[in-house]
Structure 1
């Protein structure tokens, strides 16, 4: 492999600009050679290369100075951080001495323990490590569970710090090799030995080449981890410090096989589903299930359930709609639709992950997941395609059961899809990507409980995905409502609008939840940072989404109670809110989330990761067009009398919204990655404050320490 390709494959993306500009220096060599005079004019030839070589060596010196400054700064930061972590490890070890139920320390140390906190990641939660037994007692109580929690956080901090050291060591090696390679090429192409002389006299004596501080720090981190954190267990310590491949994610053969198997099965099942559907359409017109008294009379016309800006659809009311030949098709579309979207979005996020990895966007750091244990792009796509296989299997089962057995039991198939999804997500056994599922459920809990948790990037990114999947909640509610109120009821007990009416407030509530979650998160971020812009302004964007849902609900409730379909104040308020939401969100997508629309750079931005500029312009147009699909909700969806066609069109709009979100993801993470590059942030920020503010006390001998403890404070370490 050519060195430039190896450099691009192994460099740390966030430090890209701090590496030797090998490609540019190589081009300077070739450009100078192409512009050189004829070798027949010896004097002119020698004078030309003498001048060019002087300029070239100046470029080499500038690159060397850049590398030296960056390496020294990172090395100094690493030494300071190691001193803090080592001090914390030693103090924590003293608190967790085996066989001791109480640890006696000074009153000042007790106060330090009381005020100390552990912070993990940007905006992470702070967890108190010490609890007072009672304000009246001059005692502070710390349990083993608290010590264990702090020890776990400290191990995580050491593992992240170790990864940072390995990246810095790799930086050192790659730049050393880069200078050697480029100077060797310089001598070869220009037929001189100046490069060798410069390499031996300057490069080999430079600080970043001669320094062994990083190697020593790596050994010290390993020693502390083995002896202090893991009690001498070398295997366990080194397994925790294990560094993932520094190049692109290695492709697992099992993951690719599983993905390929699912894609092949999906292809076959799609063909089978189409053939079965065509067969039933040709021989049973309209498509209908075998007669089943308790369910045959239901026609369930309801919302289109479209994504993004929720509406409640083209509904017909009255008991006459409960007896119709289209009820199977309309109901099946609504009950199968939401689960299909879940499979699709997971597959698309897998494609997103593959694109980020190929272009060097460090999504692992941005999402703050464990770099040693996370889902790869192929695993994500494998999960999504497996869900699609499950969905297709249940759809075919629905067709066959409906035609050959019982219409009543045919409707168990759509609920079976959701049951399989939930069993996978909530499975407590440590199999099937347990750590990743646990991470997802943790983020999901933080979203639902907003604004009571601080907000990190994964929190609001996943909540943004839900703003494009609000229709899943509506379709899931329809499925559950159907089985509760309509699945096994006698015709006399039918209420065919109970699952589609907005009068009970459930459907508007579900439609507005995704926007509410993001609004609450923005409010929390404003409360934490006190920055009106962008957080308070961003909260206003999602508040307009909630207002749009409210006006939509009022308009459809007005229709239910006999109001004119296209008149009235609520209809016009709904239209105005749609326009405001469209302008507000489009501006935020392009300017804030993507960082584009800078006129100086052709309405893009200064730095671009994706090579083709045309992709950015296409994405801008695509985002605007797909956000305009709300027009269909106030035109076609409100006037088309064909309910089945309306539901299918609503499903298509939903898929297009997912595609819009899929494209949005590429540029949103690109912008976040560039922000991390500006801060040279390549690993998660795991900062642990020292237990004591005064390190001098740790250096005192035992006699002085005992003399200082005139007012002892006991820490009772209880057994758990």
Structure 2
């Protein structure tokens, strides 16, 4: 792999703009090379009558074999031979800023390179190259210095948090042992910490101990109250932080929060260390390319400056990594370094070839089953049989549930593939535990496996219904979809570490938080999942039909009329359709009330308008089925107007707010300044598709007409599939916009709430 691709693959996606622009500098070098080639050709044309030297390109490799061996341990030394001043190409100097010269605090120095061969022909290309090279280097140093200052401040905050944790641990675990030390020095309990000055100087002295002060507990409040509906209700009446009760639950919760804070802080430090290393390597590579193209020797001088700069000399990050690892192993892993390092540095997820193999097998089986079902239906002319209508009213809605699930998973697999391809950090955005996120092959494995089970059940249902030898088992035929639902639910709630338990648990937690929407702080996975349910209303109605069809025993006669003609069933149908939008409305209210985003008030209004449209449409459909023409005509007007308003509102919000597009004065007209996809036309196509698919959904909502060649349930299923496809397209651009928001803020690590709160006066003392 070329260095440019390797360099891009190892970047922190959210910091990509802060890295050295290697490709841009390569294009400048290419311009220098083209100029030199043209100059060489012009000289050759002038002396074309002279005998040309023999080309010895084939001896180039052999000549390199006679060079002196430099040694594996640099036995000839790292210093290059001294050069005369006549051989110097560049002069690099550190330029102090005006504020620094006046004695004020600044971030450091800026570096400037002077090209000493400006009199040569074509030197303007090299002057531009070094000017841009300096810009990139100053950008990298400035970003690195700012991030180092940021992590130093975070380290100081973690120091205060650890003081409070250790004091709380002493108070909870062994309060009686504290008394002698308090009486003796009034400082607390001995904490075994070797002074860093002794470690750095290598002094062999007896260990000196610092004392962990219990006075800290008088000046902190705890934030470890577990987030729950009950705690949310209590916070409405008492907004202050809870006081310390000195119990083991507080200690456990505080320790868990601080442990997670250390893990995220260590990850940020590793990102910074890798950032410094990659950029130094990139500057080395680009200067070596310059020397090779120009046959000069300027890299030594420039790389010496890079090595002596803050980027090369700063060791704060390395020291912090050592101290964080030491403290983490000691205080959170009982001194077990192997356990501590495996937690701080989780192993990279490896791709398993058997997953790809089974995906291929399941997709092949699915295609074979589809062909078998089509052939079976054609040979027996099932589409024109007397039982077609009965089958479409009963069995078809039972199996469409799995079709909606499979299609949604396929769209999600496509999203994961393109997020990975265009380096959208979906794992960080969703908050997956490192190494547990599912790749697109794993999602395809689940979807293809479920499709095989569903299609096999459909084919078995057809065979058992039509086979003369098994017609007596008609009741068993009806139980096949229910058995499949039970299998899916058992796998979903299985407590054992199989079938991607971490992802299933993550999904269930997000689902619970959606159900208890106003009582939890809303995170992106919560409202992202709730948005998926707004596109799966028909799936929820299929679940409702399952409960009615099997709960009331209608499956024994294969008769759906008791469900469809029940007034209670009609009311539940309205409630089921409203639930996803109601959850999103509550989430918007919670985010608006908590001050997270003032625009969530308008977002909540959008979902309220959708609720009104869905309710009016459902009532209008039910009145039409009951042949109450006058009332149905009135509600059709209401449904048409409310659905039109909701469609316009939702479409604008999708494109302008969720996708961040329709920016008139941006660098990319009507899009946004930063785009991930290289082809801008894809964004316009996505916007048009969003409008069309929403209008298709609106057509079903208004119930304009039924297709004569399709059963009504089939038409409903097709339009529901179009909505799922629209949601899949929405998912990609929604997460792309979130990723670019993180990139703009250079936010690459989760912010973990700390367990203790210090007052400002106490923190400064």
CA contact (8 A) 1:350 1:378 kept: yes
From 640, 647, 671, the equivalent of 1:575 is 640
Would you say 1:480 and 2:547 are equivalent positions?
Answer: yes
Counterpart contact for 2:228–2:520, Cα < 8 Å: no
| 1:508-554 residue CA offsets vs partner (Å, 9 max, x unmatched) | 0001111111111111111011754x211111111111001221233
Which of 628, 647, 652 is equivalent to 2:718?
652
Structure 2 counterpart of 1:167:
271
Of 580, 584, 591, which aligns to 2:649? 584
- 2:257 pairs, out of 144, 149, 153, with 153
What's the offset of the Cα at 1:90? 4.6
Question: Paired residue for 1:116?
Answer: 222
2:404 alignment partner, one of 341, 346, 362: 341
1:490 CA drift (Å): 7.4
Partner secondary structure for residue 621 of structure 1: helix
Residue by residue over 1:408-460, the C-alpha shift from the partner in whole angstroms, topping out at 9 and shown as x without a partner, is 22111111221111111111223221111111111111111112211111111
- Map residues 112-511 of structure 1 onto 2, 5 A cutoff: 112-113=219-220, 115-118=221-224, 141-200=245-304, 202-245=305-348, 250-281=350-381, 286=385, 288=387, 326-404=389-467, 405=470, 406-487=473-554, 496-498=562-564, 504-511=570-577
Is the contact made by 1:450 and 1:521 (CA closer than 8 Å) also made in structure 2?
A: yes
Distance 2:33 2:373 in 1: 65
State how far apart, in whole Å, the 1-side matches of 2:219 and 2:712 are.
65
User: 1:118–1:127: 8 Å Cα contact kept in structure 2?
Assistant: no
Matches within 5 A, 1:3-22: 3-22=3-22
Once residues 671 and 379 of structure 1 are traced to their aligned partners in structure 2, the CA distance between those partners, rounded to angstroms, is 25
Question: Do 2:366 and 2:451's aligned partners in 1 also have CA atoms closer than 8 Å?
Answer: yes
Structure-to-structure mapping, 1:695-710, within 5 angstroms: none
The 1:44–1:35 alpha-carbon spacing in structure 2 relative to 1, beyond 3 Å, is farther
Partners of 2:707 and 2:441 in 1: CA distance: 41
* Aligned CA distance change for structure 1 residues 271 and 187 (closer, same or farther; 3 Å): same
Q: Please tell me whether the aligned partners of residues 486 and 495 of structure 1 are also in contact (alpha carbons under 8 angstroms).
A: no
Q: CA separation of 1:637/1:499 partners in 2, compared to 1, >3 Å: closer, same or farther? A: farther
CA contact (8 A) 2:554 2:562 kept: no
Q: Distance in 2 between matches of 1:143 and 1:266?
A: 57
Residues 1:280 and 1:160: Cα distance change in structure 2 (over 3 Å) = farther
In the alignment, what sits opposite 1:56?
Answer: 129
Relative to structure 2, which stretch is displaced further, 330-339 or 505-514?
330-339
Alpha-carbon offset, residue 166 of structure 1: 1.2
Distance change >3 Å, CA 694–CA 598, structure 1 → 2: closer
Instruction: Flag the structure with more relative contact order, 1 or 2, with Cα contacts below 8 A and sequence separation at least 6.
Output: 1
Aligned counterparts of 1:694 and 1:468: Cα–Cα separation in 2: 47
Deviations 1:108-139 (A, max 9, x none): 644544x321599xx999989xx9xxxxxxx9
TM-score normalised by L of structure 2: 0.78
Separation in 1, partners of 2:566, 2:11: 55
Distance 1:698 1:145, change over 3 A: farther
Corresponding residue for 1:38? 39
Distance of aligned partners of 1:647 and 1:46 in 2 relative to their CA distance in 1, 3 Å threshold: same
Alpha-carbon distance in structure 1 between the residues aligned to 2:231 and 2:295: 64
| Alpha-carbon offset, residue 489 of structure 1 | 6.3
The higher radius of gyration belongs to: 2
**Structure 1 pair 205/119, CA: closer, same or farther in 2 (3 Å)?**
farther
- Following superposition, the deviation at residue 194 of structure 1 comes to 2.3
Superposed CA RMSD in Å reads 3.3
Q: Deviation at 1:392?
A: 1.3
Indicate conservation of the 8 Å contact 1:84/1:690, yes or no.
no
CA contact (8 A) 2:269 2:321 kept: yes
**1:569 CA drift (Å):** 1.8
Indicate how the Cα distance of structure 1 residues 178 and 126 shifts in structure 2: closer, same or farther if over 3 A, else same: farther
Q: Which residue does the alignment assign to 1:554?
A: 619
Classify 1:455/1:605 alpha carbon distance in 2 versus 1 (closer, same or farther; 3 Å).
Answer: same
Structure 1 residues 354 and 697: CA distance shift in structure 2, 3 A: closer
Structure 2 distance, partners of 1:164, 1:393, is 49
Aligned positions, number: 644
Alignment of 1:519-530 (within 5 A): 519-529=585-595
Note the residue ranges of structure 1 that are not aligned, 5 or more in a row: 132-138, 289-324, 700-720
